[in-house]
């Protein structure tokens, strides 16, 4: 599936949309929008660049030569400083304007305006640039792109996402035909729902007890593109809780095996896999190209990477996990003293990040690093670890069992659907970003994440839309950026 994808943080979209629709005399208005482009290859999927809006300039004053309810003529001499900024900051230029007369599509006049802007843009910045053009009409967006290499070729955007507390998704063909397998979703959520799902690219990190059911349910629900990431091989002990694997798959690589199973289902989903962990350049590049990421790993370091990627790349991120403790009763029989599942929904401008939720901590990262170097530490009790190795950890986790892992995975996908077509009515004591399911006491509750305005991820000076610099996520260990 090709076509560019456009993402707005909700705060920026709200400002731009308010400006475009707010002319006191009902005239057309315009704005320049600056985008960060993510066009990194994912083996097995066609190129589909993501353009994430990072700033906007309202066209007011001497920007406007003439305007009316049906036209806007802008002063092109105002653009070169923005071309320079695009060159210096690695951004792409966008031009958005309103159609207050109610015409929702692009016009022939829009063609001429876009080509005039593109000529000046390419004359300053070279033939490799792309112009993103947007129309705002009746509170709805349409978008397309033109490249300087072929300015007559117009490519309609697959979607425009507004990433706020929920996911607003604008698709060009909201009334397209629905496959028979998805008609019940039409009945539940409305006809545009399936078209929106089909326009999305999802990454599922982890192919085990929560990752495999998450990936399969996403495919069956109609997601358009899916990437599975896992560096492990299937162990026989996994078979009690995974989906999509057979006994004959034991010792096979999880990610490509799961992807092959999904591909064999014959659904309308393009699926790719990465046989590796999240600390690889190709895995991070897959995150950068995603619209939604599901974290289904059992390692804290992987979650830390996805947590930071959600802000650098402006992504919706759903992280699922389980925790618990086993004990022995009076007859020395094991029982589940505690077993809980967690669903953390992290939107870059809403909710607390995994660090503020206490899921990722420096102490947990240090313990995990120590285990990689000295696996024998896993056998030590927490008190010995603290006293002799200055490490916090060593708790006993409840064993992974299919009904628990599968339930948490299914609830993660249901949470995703609620982001696109809200249906939940949460009690006042539940938070969207932090939901726990207590399987022992059959309760649902939320922890109260730390409200840290100085958090380096989600705080006031956090990672939201921060440029990466020379390295992916600003981390040398993840390799140099050689692509947008």
pLDDT recorded at residue 387: 61
Report the Cα 174 to chain-centroid distance in Å.
21
Compute the distance between CA of residue 164 and CA of residue 11 in angstroms, rounded to an integer. Answer: 8
SS (HEC) of 72-92:
EEECHHHCHHHHHHHHHHCCE
Return the C-alpha torsion angle 220, 305, 420, 464, nearest 10: -160
Report how far residue 294's alpha carbon sits from residue 272's, in angstroms, rounded to the nearest whole number: 15
In the prediction, which pLDDT does 331 show?
Answer: 85
- How much is the pTM? 0.95
The position carrying tokens 């981390």 is 475
| Residues of the chain where predicted confidence (pLDDT) is lower than 70 | 174, 381, 384-399
* Residue 366 neighbours by CB distance under 10 Å: 16
Provide the H-helix boundaries in 129-224. 183-189, 192-198, 211-221
CATH number of this structure's domain 180-478: 3.40.50.720
Angle, in degrees to the nearest 10, between helices 300-312 and 281-288? 40
The answer to whether the CB of 270 falls within 8 A of the CB of 1 is yes
Domain spans of the chain, in order of start: 5-163, 180-478
Q: Provide the pLDDT for residue 371.
A: 82
Choose among 368, 228, 352: nearest CA to 290: 228
Alpha-carbon span 66 to 73, nearest angstrom: 5
Length of the chain: 484
| Residue 397, pLDDT score | 61
The CATH number given to 5-163 is 3.40.140.10
3 state SS of 294: strand
Q: What is the largest CA-CA distance in the chain?
A: 86
- List, for residues 143-163, the tens digit of each pLDDT value: 999 999 999 999 999 999 999
DSSP 8-state secondary structure symbol assigned to residue 37 = E
Give CA 353 to chain center in angstroms: 14
């Amino acid at each position: 599936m090709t076509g560019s994808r456009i993402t707005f943080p909700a705060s920026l979209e709200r400002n731009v949309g308010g400006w475009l629709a707010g002319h006191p005399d009902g005239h057309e208005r315009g704005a320049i929008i600056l985008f960060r482009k993510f066009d990194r290859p994912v083996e097995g999927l066609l190129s589909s660049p993501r353009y994430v809006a990072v700033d906007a300039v309202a066209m007011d004053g001497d920007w406007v030569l003439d305007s009316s309810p049906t036209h806007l003529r802008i002063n092109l001499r105002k653009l070169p400083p923005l071309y320079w900024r695009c060159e210096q900051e690695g951004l792409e230029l966008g031009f958005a304007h309103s159609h207050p007369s109610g015409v929702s599509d692009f016009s022939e006049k829009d063609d001429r305006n876009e080509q005039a802007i593109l000529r000046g843009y390419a004359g300053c910045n070279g033939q490799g640039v792309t112009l993103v053009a947007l129309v705002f009409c009746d509170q709805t967006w349409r978008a397309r792109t033109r490249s300087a290499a072929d300015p007559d070729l117009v490519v309609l955007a697959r979607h425009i996402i507004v990433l706020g507390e929920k996911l607003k998704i604008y698709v060009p063909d909201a009334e397209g035909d629905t496959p028979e397998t998805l008609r019940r979703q039409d009945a539940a959520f409305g006809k545009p729902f399936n078209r929106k799902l089909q326009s999305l690219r999802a990454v599922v990190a982890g192919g085990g007890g929560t990752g495999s059911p998450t990936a399969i349910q996403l495919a069956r629900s109609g997601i358009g593109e899916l990437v599975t990431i896992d560096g492990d091989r299937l162990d026989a002990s996994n078979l009690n809780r995974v989906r999509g694997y057979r006994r004959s798959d034991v010792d096979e690589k999880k990610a490509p095996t799961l992807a092959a199973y999904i591909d064999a289902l014959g659904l309308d989903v393009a699926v790719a896999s990465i046989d590796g962990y999240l600390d690889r350049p190709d895995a991070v590049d897959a995150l950068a190209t995603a619209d939604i990421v599901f974290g289904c790993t059992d390692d804290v370091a992987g979650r830390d990477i996805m947590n930071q990627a959600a802000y650098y790349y402006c992504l919706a991120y759903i992280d699922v996990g389980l925790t618990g403790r086993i004990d022995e009763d009076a007859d020395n029989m094991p029982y589940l003293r505690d077993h809980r599942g967690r669903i953390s929904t992290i939107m870059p401008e809403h909710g607390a990040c995994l660090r503020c939720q206490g899921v990722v901590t420096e102490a947990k990262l240090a313990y995990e690093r120590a285990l990689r170097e000295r696996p024998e530490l896993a056998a030590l009790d927490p008190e010995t670890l603290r006293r002799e190795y200055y490490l916090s950890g060593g708790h006993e986790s409840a064993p992974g069992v299919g009904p628990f892992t599968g339930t948490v995975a299914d609830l993660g996908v249901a949470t995703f659907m609620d982001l696109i077509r809200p249906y939940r009515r949460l009690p006042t004591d539940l938070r969207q970003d932090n939901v726990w399911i207590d399987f022992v006491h059959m309760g649902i509750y939320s922890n109260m994440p730390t409200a840290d305005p100085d958090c380096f991820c989600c705080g006031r000076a956090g990672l939201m839309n921060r440029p990466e610099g020379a390295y992916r996520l600003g981390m040398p260990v993840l390799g140099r950026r050689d692509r947008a």
